[in-house]
């Protein structure tokens, strides 16, 4: 393409080197933003007409021209050109080609710097809603599982060592909370990014008569950004969004790790449905948990994208710098990764089965009610540190005998502390231990049942 055909060609004598065109082009990925670009241009044109910068006729031909371009892109018949660099210039050039001089008036009082900031904010605003919806599906799946397995126990772990018995539903609802926080984070992120930068122009604002507030309102923004220099170079909103995505993916990764462990022969806590596993090309007996493994693995690229973005803005002087074009690919990849991970995880959970017998059996060994025995002594007025020592010695006694605390006779228990009475066996049982933890947020059955009901309410599931 010769220099004079370029929308910015006036100042140039010769054509751009084709290597430079290839190196600077972003159209192969920013074409994803076409709907936002067109919507923003229509709002901008409407405002220009309102302020006497376009006639009614010119406005109409711009709107119609943009609609026809959108239709062609929808249909896949629009030809994107790398030599036109990006989505903004591909659309603007097509508009000028289709409608003539009126099209050339569209870019008044606007720069690609505020245009890309606008498109990106509108796109991410929708993605906040989209990811929040997917997170809700995952939360729903957890709610249904928590209801289904209410009343069953499993070992709770610290340091991946058996610690205290808990309700399966309590463990499941821990994830409900984590993904709920993620949804709130996307909501907060959306609030902060939902301000229109359009009209900041290149970076200093414009002397042409415009109405930024009108454009902002028609595009569904809560208002306009305050400082034109800040707005043309600001990518805080993108970094914040990537951070929200990263925390979500980390939550998915932790969950995946548990699913990998739980579906192993060693744990045998869950059965992942055949449809969500794959086999081995050499070992006929294998059923591998590839989905959680891949989700766990994909966390790397999501964390990497966040690193790319923060490194990108580090050391950039105000205002817009071409470096900022590098903000889109990592974020698009993150969005694709987190979306697909969330939707497949929701499906997997909807089809997950727990082996409640194995899980309950696992609570019977490992001295899991040791803390309950210490608490029992505390209620008998033994200072907690002393109680801790007594129970520790009882555990050593059990290890020597090869039994659990509940297997010791009353007499044997009394050798460790004379205050122990017959009622101790209630606290040494798994069910007794779980039922006793009625503190707010604890694993006691009454608390967990309340939590399930609360989750169902939030998810709009009626029992
Ligand atoms: N494609 C560019 C980007 O994504 C649009 C802004 C270009 N501005 C400029 N002055 N070259 O950042």
Whether 248 lines ligand 1, by a CB cut-off of 6 Å, is no
Q: What is the pLDDT of residues 47-78, one digit of tens each?
A: 999 999 999 999 999 999 999 999 999 999 99
For ligand 1, mutation pick of 28, 107, 113, 328 (most atoms within 8 Å of CB):
113
Residue 135 backbone dihedrals phi, psi, to 5 degrees:
-65, -35
The reply to whether 4 belongs to the active site is no
Q: Locate the ligand 1 atom nearest the alpha carbon of residue 85 and give its number.
A: 1
88 near 38, Cβ under 8 Å? no
195 near 120, Cβ under 8 Å? no
pLDDT of residue 13: 80
Q: Which of 4, 18, 67, 280 is catalytic?
A: 280
Residue 319 backbone dihedrals phi, psi, to 5 degrees:
-115, -100
Torsion angle of C-alpha atoms 246, 248, 254, 260, degrees rounded to 10: -110
Least confident of 6-15, 16-25, 96-105: 6-15
- The pair of structure tokens assigned to 353 is 């089965």
pTM, full prediction? 0.94
Q: Which of 159, 281, 439, 462 is catalytic?
A: 159
Whether 86 lines ligand 1, by a CB cut-off of 6 Å, is yes
Over residues 187-199, the mean pLDDT reads 98
Q: What is the pLDDT of residues 357-389, one digit of tens each?
A: 999 999 999 899 999 999 999 999 999 999 999
Q: What percentage of the chain carries pLDDT values higher than 70?
A: 99
pLDDT of residue 325: 98
CA pair distance 125, 118, nearest whole angstrom: 11
Distance, CA 20 to ligand 1 centroid (Å)? 15
pLDDT of residue 463: 59
CA pair distance 430, 154, nearest whole angstrom: 9
What SS3 class is residue 434? helix
Q: How far apart are the first and last CA of the chain?
A: 65
Distance, CA 233 to ligand 1 centroid (Å)? 11
Residue 311 CB neighbours (<10 A):
10
Give exposure, 234-257, as e/b (b: 16+ Cβ within 10 Å): bbebbbbbbebbbbbbbbbbebbe
For ligand 1, mutation pick of 116, 197, 238, 309 (most atoms within 8 Å of CB):
116
The reply to whether 280 belongs to the active site is yes
Distance, CA 205 to ligand 1 centroid (Å)? 17
pLDDT at 3 over 70: no
- Please give the radius of gyration of the chain, using alpha carbons only, rounded to the nearest integer: 31
pLDDT of residue 274: 87
Whether 26 lines ligand 1, by a CB cut-off of 6 Å, is yes
Alpha-carbon separation of residue 127 from 135, 153, 331, 338, 391 (angstroms) = 12, 38, 11, 11, 53
Q: Locate the ligand 1 atom nearest the alpha carbon of residue 26 and give its number.
A: 1
């Amino acid at each position: 393409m010769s220099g004079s055909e370029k929308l910015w060609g006036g100042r140039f004598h010769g054509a751009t080197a084709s290597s430079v065109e290839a190196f600077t082009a972003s159209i192969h990925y920013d074409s994803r933003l076409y709907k936002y670009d067109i919507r923003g241009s229509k709002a901008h044109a409407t405002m220009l007409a309102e302020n006497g910068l376009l006639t009614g006729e010119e406005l109409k031909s711009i709107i119609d021209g943009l609609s026809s371009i959108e239709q062609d892109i929808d249909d896949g018949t629009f030809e994107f050109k790398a030599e036109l660099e990006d989505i903004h210039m591909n659309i603007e050039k097509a508009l000028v080609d289709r409608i003539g001089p009126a099209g050339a008036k569209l870019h008044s009082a606007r720069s690609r710097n505020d245009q890309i900031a606008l498109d990106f904010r509108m796109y991410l605003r929708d993605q906040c809603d989209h990811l929040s919806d997917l997170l809700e599906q995952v939360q729903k799946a957890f709610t249904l599982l928590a209801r289904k397995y209410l009343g069953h126990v499993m070992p709770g772990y610290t340091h991946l060592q058996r610690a205290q018995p808990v309700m399966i539903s309590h463990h499941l609802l821990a994830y409900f909370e984590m993904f709920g926080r993620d949804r709130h984070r996307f909501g907060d992120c959306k609030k902060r990014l939902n301000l229109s930068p359009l009209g900041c122009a290149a970076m200093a604002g414009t002397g042409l008569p415009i109405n930024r507030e009108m454009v902002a309102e028609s595009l569904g923004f809560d208002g306009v950004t305050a400082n034109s220099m800040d707005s043309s170079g600001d990518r805080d909103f993108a970094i914040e969004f990537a951070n929200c995505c990263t925390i979500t993916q980390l939550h998915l990764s932790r969950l995946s790790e548990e699913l990998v462990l739980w579906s192993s022969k060693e744990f045998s806590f869950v059965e992942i449905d055949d449809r969500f596993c794959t086999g081995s090309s050499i070992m006929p007996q294998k059923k591998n948990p590839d989905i959680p493994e891949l989700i766990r693995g994909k966390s790397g690229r999501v964390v990497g994208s966040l690193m790319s973005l923060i490194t990108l803005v580090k050391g950039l002087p105000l205002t817009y710098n071409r470096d900022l074009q590098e903000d889109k690919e990592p974020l698009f990849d993150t969005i694709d990764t987190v979306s697909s991970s969330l939707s497949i995880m929701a499906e997997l959970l909807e089809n997950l089965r727990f082996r409640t017998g194995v899980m309950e059996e696992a609570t019977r060994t490992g001295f899991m009610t040791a803390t309950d025995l210490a608490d029992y002594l505390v209620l008998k007025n033994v200072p907690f540190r002393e109680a801790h020592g007594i129970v520790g010695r009882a555990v050593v006694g059990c290890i020597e005998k090869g039994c659990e605390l509940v297997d010791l006779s009353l007499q044997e228990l009394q050798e460790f502390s004379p205050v122990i009475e017959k009622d101790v066996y209630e606290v040494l049982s798994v069910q007794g231990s779980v039922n006793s933890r009625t503190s707010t947020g604890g694993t006691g059955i009454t608390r967990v049942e309340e939590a399930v009901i609360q989750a169902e309410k939030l998810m709009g599931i009626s029992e």
